[in-house]
A and B are shown apart, each in its own frame.
Chain A
Amino acid sequence: MYTLSSKLKLSAIILMVVGAIGLIYAFASAPSTIEEVKEIIASHEAHGEHQATANAHATHDDAHADKHAEHVLHQLQNKPWSATYVAAFFFFMIALGALAFYAIQYAAQAGWSPVLFRVMEAVTAYLLPGSLIVFAILMLSGMHLNHMFIWMDPEVVKNDPIIQGKEAYLNVPFFLIRAAIYIIGWNVFRHFLRKNSLRQDEATDNRFYKKNFKLSAAFLVFFIVTESMMSWDWIMSLDPHWYSTLFGWYLFASLFVTAITVIALITIYLKSKGYLPEVNNSHIHDLAKFMFGISIFWTYLWFSQFLLIWYSNIPEEVTYFITRIEDYNLPFFGMLIFNFIFPLLVLINSDYKRVNWFVVMTGVVILVGHYLDIFNMIMPATVGKSWFIGVPEISAMLFFAGLFLLIVFNALTKAPLIAKRNPFIKESKHFHY
């Protein structure tokens, strides 16, 4: 049995407190009136940071300046909300991806991974709180407390025939009902998978294993449909004028690789503390192979989406990338180094994939890269040019990181770290590659 060390608990709580203070500060310091925004813009111009825009403004009439200030006001008001949403979604998707990975291991009857099942189950423990937090943010958006989803604003929809055409799908009640269905579905599957896994420990036959096998197969069908729809609802609808057909897969690759990375990091941590004696460097090698392969899969989807839109250059599709290349140049292309080039060069070597500190280092880089990936999906639609990775973004990450650590490591204490009567556990203990 794993016992939660007080040091870890304290660090998690400190992360949460620091994050919460930062978030309160971020929400409190967001401008609430157009006058404040004008002051911010004026002070920027006084610093000479916006020489070109200042000159351009001089020729505009006051009405236009007001409109611009209102636009910036909405962006700045969205900033703490979007920062929270990015971080909440990032950690939620780790839990969801871990559940998908877990179900795949069951459905594929993998012989190597059963010694890691309890770690995967613990990561999915964050699914319930994580998905409820995301749902709460979506609900608050539906109550018009922020302007993240512009199609929720009746004023915007009134003058926008494109969104009007999508109203049958994009309306707040249906949106929330869909979200509720996904969340309930995932959590019910998670609940029973975990329950059967624990019952199998005490069982005398393989009844619960077989149940979990069927449950996993059913979950994977449910997951791939709901994950795809979730990506349209929760991410793609932030840009309601834009659509892409492989977006669901693209998001899936992102959540899958982060989940595998987190499973690897937690496994290495627990092993270094002596809690997982059955895990050998071949298990780490396999996890690192998954990190390597899915990183490249992510890049393939990222590039396929980018190339097809860049190549045909159709105006209604390409604006998505134009805003990202012009306003988010560094994070947009920088994440390719984190998510593709670094894992490619480091994890290509078979020996390095067995060395813990190589896997940890690459894992941290992959996590940062995929945070940037989610950042690039959400921020350009909600805060546009006013982005910055500052207090709101970092505090939100710290807060949710603390919460994630607390819940996941608490879940690890609830059951023995090695599944006892899994039919493949013996093979898994002797696994070597």
Chain B
Amino acid sequence: MSSKVIHAIYTDDDLLMQAVKQTREARYRIEEVYTPFPVHGLDKAMGLPHTRLAVTAFLYGLVGLSVSIAMMNFIMIDDWPQNIGGKPSFSFLENLPSFVPIMFELTVFFAAHLMVITFYLRSKIWPFKEAENPDPRTTDDHFLMEVDVANHNVEEMADFFANTGAVEIKLINK
């Protein structure tokens, strides 16, 4: 099955924001927007849901904290409680202050790295991934909005995007 999309290309991020708002008002479905840099407020204009990456980072941090506590409790207290320089190794709580730097670092380590890996997985980025860029100019100075044609009239849509200030409008068979 082949579906058709329209690529509307803009050269100004303010125009793009305007166009996104108008397109949504006209009830056309925006598939994707390609920009060379983050456009402030674009996600809101497109109506994208909030990211939950921060929540995952918090949970990963808790995992890191648990790992560090379990590790040091086992090594320093349970397995071989040696007297090292007179530090009290009778219970975890008694020797807690000396464990805190490691607990802190592992919390940050887990939170940061696992969140980054989550980001890579969710956005499907990896070293030998083939670039999905429809037009190389969108990495430099052009903005591209991809809109699903579905069962709308192509002529009508082309007129509509021309009115929003697009410098180029292309019909693409996907």
Contact = CB atoms under 8 A, between A and B. Distances in A.
A329 B86 CA distance: 23
Most chain A CB within a 10 A radius of its CB, from B86, B97, B98: B97
Contact of A310 (B58, B97, B101): B97
Nearest to A309: B97
B100 A303 contact: yes
A311 B98 contact: yes
B97 A313 contact: no
Dominant secondary structure of chain B at its interface with chain A: helix
Contacts of A306: 97
A405 to B, nearest CB: 37
A307 B86 contact: no
Interface in B7-27: none
A246 interface: no
Interface in A329-356: 348, 350
B97 A307 contact: yes
Nearest to B87: A311
A270 B131 CA distance: 53
Dominant secondary structure of chain A at its interface with chain B: helix
B7 to A, nearest CB: 32
Nearest to B101: A307
Contact of B86 (A303, A313, A348, A350): A313
Interface string A298-321: 000001001100110100000000
A310 B100 CA distance: 13
Interface string B27-58: 00000000000000000000000000010001
Interface string A114-145: 00000000000000000000000000000000
Interface in B76-101: 86, 97-98, 100-101
Nearest to B58: A348
B58 A307 contact: no
Contacts of A350: 54
A313 B101 CA distance: 18
A313 B58 CA distance: 35
A44 to B, nearest CB: 31
A348 B111 CA distance: 14
A339 to B, nearest CB: 16
Nearest to B98: A311
B115 to A, nearest CB: 14
B97 A311 contact: yes
Contacts of A310: 97
Contacts of B98: 307, 311
B58 to A, nearest CB: 7
A353 B119 CA distance: 25
A40 to B, nearest CB: 35
A171 B165 CA distance: 78
Contacts of A303: 97, 100
Contacts of B97: 303, 306-307, 310-311
Contacts of A348: 58
A303 B97 CA distance: 8
Contacts of B86: 313
B72 to A, nearest CB: 15
Nearest to A308: B97
A348 to B, nearest CB: 7
A396 B86 CA distance: 43
A191 to B, nearest CB: 41
A303 B58 CA distance: 22
A252 B101 CA distance: 23
A295 to B, nearest CB: 15
Interface of B: 54, 58, 86, 97-98, 100-101
Interface of A: 303, 306-307, 310-311, 313, 348, 350
Given A306-B97, A307-B100, 9 more contacts: A303-B97, A303-B100, A307-B97, A307-B98, A310-B97, A311-B98, A313-B86, A348-B58, A350-B54
13 contacts: A303-B97, A303-B100, A306-B97, A307-B97, A307-B98, A307-B100, A307-B101, A310-B97, A311-B97, A311-B98, A313-B86, A348-B58, A350-B54
Q: Which 10 A-B pairs have the closest CB atoms?
A: A307-B97, A310-B97, A311-B98, A303-B100, A306-B97, A311-B97, A307-B100, A348-B58, A313-B86, A350-B54
